[in-house]
Copies of this chain bind each other. A is one copy, B any other.
């Protein structure tokens, strides 16, 4: 893990850019923390540069609650090399959505599964490195991003203690099955009029999650329209389980 920049902001947050191997990432820590703090992994749909202002705002919620927050770039996104195979399937998906063709489970498997299979171990490598920093302790929470990555990570990574998931419907069949094996507390955000996701599939996925404590917070509006109060409740969920 290599830190390339460090900014101490007015609001008492230290923001550091880093790379792990070739993967860029950002770490936000509360400056004044006297002891190692819990960590929130911030997921996103890919494209760190574009997403950065929104990620910084979500990180601010975490640091205000005395938690650190970190994110890394997704495989094939931002400045990371694209994969010809994934690019081709992505184009196929885009075309299907534009022409109104059904997005078959086969397309979802072919598009999303390789991403999940590459991203999950990357998050784990990132987690290994972050937990070695003296200022970061545990437990670890997940927040948002591609729901299939979140579900898989919650199943395979025992250091994850709680997860905020952003509801989506492009979930490979194997991950839908894995959802039943999630046992940590989950808080699912669903946008009721999400133009890019099928509501019923998202509800079925919520129903499938095996966690004894699970909540669904659905709000009117499109994919990017999560209201501020729902973001705040998700932050409270993480603080409750990580502190």
Interface residues of A, Cβ cutoff 8 Å to B: 192, 203, 206-207, 211-220, 227, 229-230, 233, 236-237, 240
Q: What are the residues of chain B within 8 A of A217 when measuring CB–CB?
A: 215-218
> In the assembly, what is the distance between CA of A209 and CA of B219, in Å?
12
Q: Are B216 and A212 in contact (CB under 8 A)?
A: no
> In the assembly, what is the distance between CA of A203 and CA of B212, in Å?
21
For the complex formed by this chain, how many copies does it contain in all? 2
Q: Are B220 and A229 in contact (CB under 8 A)?
A: no
Q: Are A218 and B220 in contact (CB under 8 A)?
A: no
Question: Which 10 pairs from chain A and chain B are nearest by CB?
Answer: A216-B218, A215-B219, A214-B220, A217-B217, A233-B233, A213-B220, A215-B218, A215-B217, A229-B240, A212-B220
Distance between A209 CB and nearest chain B CB, rounded to angstroms: 9
> In the assembly, what is the distance between CA of A230 and CA of B206, in Å?
17
> In the assembly, what is the distance between CA of A207 and CA of B203, in Å?
13
Q: What are the residues of chain B within 8 A of A219 when measuring CB–CB?
A: 214-216
Q: What are the residues of chain B within 8 A of A212 when measuring CB–CB?
A: 220
Q: Are A216 and B216 in contact (CB under 8 A)?
A: yes
Q: What are the residues of chain B within 8 A of A211 when measuring CB–CB?
A: 220
Q: What are the residues of chain B within 8 A of A206 when measuring CB–CB?
A: 218
Q: What are the residues of chain B within 8 A of A218 when measuring CB–CB?
A: 206, 215-218
What would be 23 A-B contacts, judged by CB atoms less than 8 Å apart?
A: A192-B207, A192-B216, A203-B203, A211-B220, A212-B220, A213-B220, A214-B219, A214-B220, A215-B217, A215-B219, A215-B220, A215-B227, A215-B230, A216-B216, A216-B217, A216-B218, A216-B219, A217-B217, A217-B218, A218-B218, A229-B237, A229-B240, A233-B233
